[in-house]
Amino acid sequence: MKPIKKICCIGAGYVGGPTMSVIADRCPHILINVVDTNKSRIEEWNDSNLENLPIYEPGLKQIIKRCRNKNLFFSVNVQKHIHEADMIFISVNTPTKTKGIGAGQASDLKWIEASARQIGKYATGKTIVVEKSTLPVKTAETIKKILSSSSKLNKENANELNEFFILSNPEFLAEGTAINDLENPDRVLIGGEDKSAIEALKEIYLNWVKEDKILTTDIWSSELSKLIANAFLAQRVSSINSISALCESTQANINEVAKAIGMDKRIGKFFLKAGPGFGGSCFKKDILNLVYISNHFGLSEVANYWEKVIEINDWQKKRITKLIVEKMFGNVSGKKIAILGFAFKSNTNDTRESPAISICKDLIEEGSYLSIFDPKVKIDKIKSELEMSPGKNESIQNNLGKWDYANSIDEAVQRSDSIVVLSDWEEFYNLDYEGIINKMRQPSWIFDTRNVVNINIAKKTGFNVWSLGSANL
């Protein structure tokens, strides 16, 4: 296999964009084209104002500035760039199916299939196809079948034998730390059958990743490992969240418990932060997929076990809303609530599956008026997640059961009865409690689902404080 000179990545999303940016940065000798059918997304990637990139990720802007239009290009010309590439990454979305067989659990592979068909149609010569998207185990088989049947039909290249080598190379980056995760990965996993194709991909990573961190395996173990890594991570969050409720009932403190158990090397200290429930586009969909696959193979006990991780997650969100309403004298109708944080975690503008969505919807349903502030999430995203246009920031009575967008913490808390902290953005760790309480109505509450509030100072300032996982109020 010749060294790779041209890469095409299908899908310019949260994975395709940052991953290709880092490869371009570390491999100036490789030309990378990231293609997407979403024209406005590509326009945003090409925007001269780097504040308008479609994704907020610390460190991303700097790389785009260094590499864009040098060896990194964003384009809608899918055909051309597939045609020219030696290696093609598939980084398209794989959400949960909403219709048909397996609806609500299985992954919807229509975007994967479309990508495979495009590759089959336009690729020429020897092409390495890399599964970057998270896929159910055995998807490579489907891709292989599509590619081999497409190449037979390819009249344009009737005299040239197209050959495809399929690799699985799942991505483990977390949003908010994507650039650091890509530059310093815990491991890079490559699954495949063809040794020379595996070596070609390994060569790329060796430009910045140490060899002992590059793990090669068979394709099925690689595909399955990605689903299982996410399932284990989500399981830890649900475990600690379930214990947060027990702490509140027993007057233990969740941070103390997490610290004590995390010092045991066998348990480890990471991913033990209690919160309002995990969000993000992947944990839920990947566990649902695992449940579906387990049931498919007749392993209902395995499926039921993992399903509980999602159940606890949903329960955590519901119990938080219930608790807010109860603490505010059983009624939030006619009350204004400032929501701090709408992204599913800090340092991202991604709102997919954010716990803020269901908590906000439930509070709106209860008749409260929400003023939502997030440092990076724009108004249109909140509007589409809540499936509701914002009201006008005027009197509370005219805004019952509505929400509006606040441009700052100060604007959100103005005349509000309570504050609910839902994402762990840096700026929420040092709130100006004195200044804030003077703008609010009395009595004033803070509901802290991320343990970012300084309880002592907030209480001294006059707030009623509820903090997740400790005895409160």
Are 52 and 90 within 8 A, CB to CB? no
Q: According to CB under 6 A, which one of 165, 205, 344, 466 is a site residue for ligand UGA?
A: 344
Identify which of 312, 279, 272, 259 has the alpha carbon closest to the alpha carbon of residue 422.
279
DSSP annotation of 221 reads H
Told to check if 19 binds ligand UGA by CB under 6 A, we report no
* Candidate segments 95-103, 170-178, 327-335, 359-367, binder of ligand UGA by CB under 6 A: 170-178
Cα separation, 229 vs 135, whole angstroms: 13
Told to check if 282 binds ligand UGA by CB under 6 A, we report yes
Which residue's CB is nearer to ligand NAD, number 32 or number 92? 92
Name residues contacting ligand UGA, limited to 80-109 (CB under 6 A).
none
Told to check if 233 binds ligand UGA by CB under 6 A, we report yes
CB-based closest residue to ligand NAD: 13
Told to check if 470 binds ligand UGA by CB under 6 A, we report no
Cα separation, 443 vs 44, whole angstroms: 44
Are 248 and 471 within 8 A, CB to CB? yes
Q: What mask of x and - would describe binding to ligand UGA in positions 172 to 211, judged by CB under 6 A?
A: xxxx------------------------------------
Are 185 and 209 within 8 A, CB to CB? yes
Q: Which residues, 6 or more positions from 3, have their beta carbon under 8 angstroms from its beta carbon?
A: 200, 203
When CB distances are held under 5 to 8 angstroms depending on the partner's kind, the choice from ligand NAD, ligand UGA, none that residue 111 binds is ligand NAD
Where does this chain bind ligand NAD (CB under 6 A)? 10-16, 35-38, 41, 78, 91-94, 111, 114-115, 133-134, 171, 173, 175, 281-282
* Candidate segments 243-251, 275-283, 308-316, 386-394, binder of ligand UGA by CB under 6 A: 275-283
CB 172, min distance to ligand NAD, A: 7
CB 9, min distance to ligand UGA, A: 16
Q: What are phi and psi of 165, to 5 degrees?
A: -125, 120
Q: Total number of residues binding ligand UGA (CB under 6 A)?
A: 20
The rounded Cα 77 to chain-centroid distance in angstroms is: 27
CB 28, min distance to ligand NAD, A: 24
Which residue's CB is nearer to ligand UGA, number 162 or number 346? 346
Told to check if 345 binds ligand UGA by CB under 6 A, we report yes
* Backbone conformation region of residue 59, classed left if phi is above 0, alpha if psi is from -120 to 50, else beta: left
Cα separation, 192 vs 190, whole angstroms: 7
Residue spans of beta strands (DSSP E) within 326-440: 336-340, 369-373, 402-405, 418-421
Cα separation, 10 vs 112, whole angstroms: 10
Q: What are phi and psi of 122, to 5 degrees?
A: -105, -20
- The residues carrying an active-site annotation are 282
Q: Is 400 helix (H, G, I), strand (E, B) or coil?
A: coil
Which residue's CB is nearer to ligand NAD, number 133 or number 418? 133
Told to check if 273 binds ligand UGA by CB under 6 A, we report yes
Told to check if 279 binds ligand UGA by CB under 6 A, we report yes
Identify which of 217, 261, 206, 183 has the alpha carbon closest to the alpha carbon of residue 19.
183
Interface residue list for ligand UGA (CB under 6 A) = 134, 171-175, 230, 233, 237, 271-273, 275, 278-280, 282-283, 344-345
